[in-house]
């Protein structure tokens, strides 16, 4: 028996799925319903200044299927520039500025919503603060494709009946 096969044989992968399902259900039942801005650090990263409300690595919120963050752009500054697939909605809370999407300028102000649609080849996006005196603040939301489907898949994931071979010797 190969090393890989022997290692895989140490785990009952079906039971692992059931354990993941149970963890997801427990988190939906007991996870944070309200995420308070005052409890979130302002992160400095390659995109700028961000507060993460929901992220694949944040595991204490009731909902894991979305990513949600707040971003601030200081007066006269800009976000990082990145290539992304799209599929994101951004609501501008404070300030005025513009977003370059594949080099095309789209102006916005507080109260506006920026839609970044899915594109086959992706898109290059960067946000700019036009105001030299006041910060821009916006929130962004997109599916967390890492955790989006969950094992329940919206209808339940249950073992109704065991196969007759379950509990017998292992098969090779």
Note the pLDDT tens digit of each residue in 77-108: 999 999 998 899 999 999 999 999 999 999 99
C-alpha torsion sign, points 51, 54, 57, 59? positive
Q: Where are the beta strands (DSSP E) in 23-153?
A: 43-45, 48-54, 66-73, 82-84, 88-94, 96-101, 104-109, 113-116, 123-129, 136-143
Query: Among all chains, which residue has been given the structure tokens 């404070």?
Result: 94
Dihedral sign (CA 22, 51, 107, 84): negative
Question: Residue 154 — pLDDT band, cuts 50, 70, 90?
Answer: low
Neighbour-count burial for 58-74, b at 16+ CB within 10 Å, e otherwise: beebeebeebbbbbbbe
Q: What is the average pLDDT score of the chain?
A: 91
Across the range 145-164, mean pLDDT stands at: 73
By percentage, how much of the chain surpasses pLDDT 90? 73
Neighbours of 54 (CB within 10 A): 19
**Is the pLDDT at 172 greater than 60, yes or no?**
no
Rg (CA), the chain: 22
| Structure confidence by residue, pLDDT tens digits, 26-81 | 998 999 999 999 999 999 999 999 999 999 999 999 988 899 999 999 999 999 99
Is the entire prediction scored with pTM above 0.95?
no
pLDDT higher than 90, residue 145: no
Q: What pLDDT does 163 receive?
A: 74
Q: How far apart are CA 79 and CA 129, in angstroms?
A: 9
Q: What pLDDT, on a 0 to 100 scale, did the predictor assign at position 167?
A: 75
| DSSP-H helix ranges across the chain | 3-9, 13-30
Q: CA geometry: angle at 78 spanning 35 and 61, to 5°?
A: 15
Query: Domains plus CATH for the chain?
Result: 37-143 (2.60.120.10)
**Cβ proximity of 138 and 90 under 8 Å:** yes
Separation CA 38–CA 50 (nearest Å):
13
Q: What are phi and psi of 12, to 5 degrees?
A: -90, 100
């Amino acid at each position: 028996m190969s090393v890989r096969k022997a290692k895989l044989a140490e785990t009952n992968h079906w039971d692992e799925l059931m354990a993941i399902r149970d963890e997801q259900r427990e988190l939906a039942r007991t996870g944070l319903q309200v995420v308070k801005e005052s409890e979130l650090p302002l992160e400095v990263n390659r995109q700028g200044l961000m507060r993460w409300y929901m992220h694949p690595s944040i595991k204490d919120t009731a909902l894991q299927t979305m990513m949600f963050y707040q971003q601030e752009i200081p007066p006269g500054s800009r976000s990082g520039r990145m290539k992304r697939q799209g599929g994101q909605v951004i609501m501008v809370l404070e300030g005025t500025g513009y977003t370059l999407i594949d080099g095309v300028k789209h102006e916005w102000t507080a109260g506006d919503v920026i839609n970044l649609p899915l594109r086959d080849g992706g898109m290059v996006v960067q946000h700019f603060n036009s105001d030299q005196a006041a910060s821009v603040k916006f929130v962004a939301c997109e599916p967390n494709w890492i955790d989006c489907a969950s094992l329940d898949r919206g209808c339940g994931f249950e073992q109704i009946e065991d196969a007759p071979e379950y509990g017998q010797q292992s098969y090779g």
